[in-house]
Amino acid sequence: MAARDHGDPGDAPSVPPPLTPIANATRPSAAEEARTIAASTNTGTLASLTTGGDPWASLVAYGLHGGAPVLCVSNLAEHGRNLADDPRASIAIVAPTTDPDPLANARITLAGVAERPTGDELTAARAAHLAGVPAAKYYVDYSDFTLWVLRVDRVRWVGGYGRMDSATGESYAGAQPDPVAPVAAGAIVIAPWLTGRLGRRFAKVQLALRMLRSPRLFAASTLLHPEMCYAQWQDGTRQALTVALVKPGRGSRLYHSKNSSSPRL
């Protein structure tokens, strides 16, 4: 049997065509997805090389300076000594999730060269690391700790099963993270007490949110009747998608978009 890459389905069934035309098929780029994942947490797994050339993985905390991970590493640590000897490194970052299947979750690998910042960049890198890792204030200025900035040359993004792409360090640096992602978990609430027609709509919404993974909120406009339970979402600056949104807090309310052409769920 001929060897075949898993990206080639051969004669296996593929994803069926959509039943209706897709309003906007454009998704965030791999660089944008990677920037969003990097900004979603402050921990990752650093891969460095020992003096003998062996790979060495270490848990690290980081801040971001223009998208570049900023590490504060002890010179006594194995990975600290590795970076001082060979600055080639990569960091694997996994987006926060509650999915029981870890391989279905989004993650990235940022590869490049680690450098010690100097001058004004050292000041900016220190501030960036402290913004990402507030607890580092207790040791960031110790003489046996060093700040490292990973100069990203290559990016690999995996969005889950069947979703992956690569990006250059330049495109990664020029991209922006999704500004809504950090607070999206608090904005999206599926109300378990809803029943009847409204409950069925929310079941569809829950499925839509799972499929969309990390859509970007565009606007939640005027409160209408609860039956009108959809809000306007937009993929960056791209054309909006329509899903439902529950605004948390006392007297949670359903908001909808004013776009009359948006289809109901």
HSE-up of 264 (CA within 13 Å, CB side)? 8
Residue with tokens 């050339």: 53
Residues 182-195 as b/e (b if ≥16 CB within 10 A, e otherwise) read: eebeeebeeeeebe
| Alpha helices by DSSP H, the chain | 30-39, 78-85, 119-132, 169-174, 181-187, 196-212
Q: What is the pLDDT of residues 56-80, one digit of tens each?
A: 999 999 999 999 999 999 999 999 9
Residues of the chain with CATH 2.30.110.10: 30-174
CA distances from 250 to 238, 247, 253 (A): 32, 9, 9
- Confidence (pLDDT) at 26: 72
Rounded to a whole number of angstroms, the CA Rg of the chain reads: 22
For residue 73, list its beta bridge partners. Answer: 146
Class of domain 30-174 as given by CATH: mainly beta
Mean pLDDT across the chain:
74
Q: What is the pLDDT of residues 215-265, one digit of tens each?
A: 443 333 322 333 333 333 333 333 333 334 443 444 433 333 333 333 333
For residue 115, list its beta bridge partners. Answer: 149
